[in-house]
Amino acid sequence: MSEAELPGAVGRNGTDPNEVVSAEEAVLRRIEAFRRKTPRMRDDFINSAHGAGGKASAALVDGVFLQAFANDALVPLTDGATLTLASGERLAFSTDSSVVNPLRFPGGSIGHLAVHGTVNDVAMMGAVPSWVSAAFILEDGFPVAELRAIVADMAEAAANAGVTIVTGDTKVVSKGAADGLYIATAGVGVIPADIHLDARSVRPGDRVLVSGTIGDHGVAVMLARGELGIEADIESDTAPLGGLVQDLLRAAPNTRWLRDPTRGGVATVCNELARDAELAVILDEADLPIRAAVNGACEILGIDPLYVANEGKLVAVVAPEEADAALAALRAHPLGSDAALIGEIRDDPPGMVVINTGFGGNRVVDMLAGDPLPRIC
């Protein structure tokens, strides 16, 4: 299906459900609908929940940033912008920032996260990540030896991801103003001509897959802080997903949609999908791949692993006839050995995520309003 043939979201918003519009027209209509609605931002001051990726984050984006910046590249609110050059080539362009505490944790560091977060966002657009920029905000007094080690982690991560760090910037702020180090990155990659990933292409009957165990990163970072008195052998899953994505797309060329479930976890990205596709995402609790140690830590913390961040996993929606091939391709890759089919897309209830529980019932999985695990990426 070409981009020009994608059914517009407007067809599911009260007009002819069979209406077919161009991708450009669909985005223009979405911008107009956004401008007509009342911003949801009600807070007078920023708090940690606004950085958690849930309802408060969405309110901040809608009520502040989109009010100022709304345009056809931004409004789809995917993991990156799709930019079409005069030559017809399409680029995926994404930006990210890392403020994790502590800077080093089991399985990785802020340097690994800074690279992986950006290249994975580019990969979720179906692009092949190629170039990355990096900006460093350093606190006065930060040890140079520690900076060298983190930069070495970034170089290692870039090499493993097949990208080059081509430009950057450095700023130093007064002591106590940056918690040591913050890193901001941006990435660019070329989207192959035959790849069109969009929530509007998702259809009832499509299958939902995850590439591996969920919640590993967020729990690893929380335990590394040493504030909870919990000891468990849990490492972050931080990793570059470009190769995994390319294997998936070769095996399932009609893949509809991809997302890496970072802040807010699998629950949040599934809610975003349900909202944008105006369809239901139905998950099966028994099929969710969760390590026993992660599940146990989440029970002690009183949180659901579905809402915990991942930094080396993806959620994919694939056509039903390609689900087996997609799952096999993921499991054949070292980063997808624990991949699982976790649900499907249905018509009803539209815009919602529902999970079938192990007790034979079901429950709604909504976006969180607050921040159960702050500063984890």
139-153 residue pLDDT tens = 999 999 999 999 999
The answer to whether residues 8 and 54 belong to one domain is yes
Structure confidence at residue 38 (pLDDT): 44
For residue 370, being part of any structural domain is answered with no
Q: Kindly report the CATH number assigned to the domain that includes residue 318.
A: 3.90.650.10
- In a domain, residue 11? The reply is yes
Instruction: Say yes or no: 225 and 329 in one domain.
Output: yes
Instruction: Work out the percent of the chain whose per-residue pLDDT is above 90.
Output: 72
377 assigned to some structural domain: no
Minimum mean pLDDT among 68-77, 190-199, 359-368: which range? 68-77
Q: How many domains does the chain have?
A: 2
**Same-domain pairing of 186 and 204:** no
Q: Are residues 323 and 230 in the same domain?
A: yes
Question: Do 235 and 166 fall into the same domain?
Answer: no
Look at residue 27 in the predicted model and tell me its pLDDT. 57
- Interatomic CA distance for residues 29 and 109, integer angstroms: 42
Same domain for 93 and 239, yes or no, is: no
Identify whether residues 358 and 215 lie together within a single domain. Answer: yes
Domain identity same for 186 and 203 = no
CA–chain centroid gap for 85, Å, is 25
Out of 54-63, 117-126, 276-285, 298-307, which region has the weakest mean confidence (pLDDT)?
54-63
Using a cut of 0.75, tell me whether the model's pTM lies above it: yes
Is residue 122 assigned to a domain?
yes
Last residue of a domain, one of 161, 191, 221: 191
Look at residue 359 and tell me if it is in a domain: yes
Instruction: Verify that 171 and 308 share a domain, yes or no.
Output: no
Upstream peptide bond of 374 is cis (omega within 30 degrees of 0): no
Full residue range of the structural domain in which residue 154 is found: 3-191
Q: What is the mean pLDDT of the chain?
A: 89
Query: pLDDT tens digit string along 312-334?
Result: 999 999 999 999 999 999 999 99
**In terms of domains, do 157 and 209 share one?**
no
Report the candidate in 273, 353, 349 with the shortest Cα–Cα distance to residue 314: 273
The rounded distance, in Å, linking the Cα atoms of 331 and 112 is: 23
Chain-centroid distance, C-alpha 271: 12
Quick check: is 178 in a domain? yes
Q: What is the 3-state secondary structure (H, E, C) of 94-119?
A: EEEEECCCCCEECCEEHHHHHHHHHH
Does residue 254 share a domain with residue 175?
Answer: no
- Give 202-249 pLDDT, tens digit per residue: 999 999 999 999 999 999 999 999 877 778 899 999 999 999 999 999
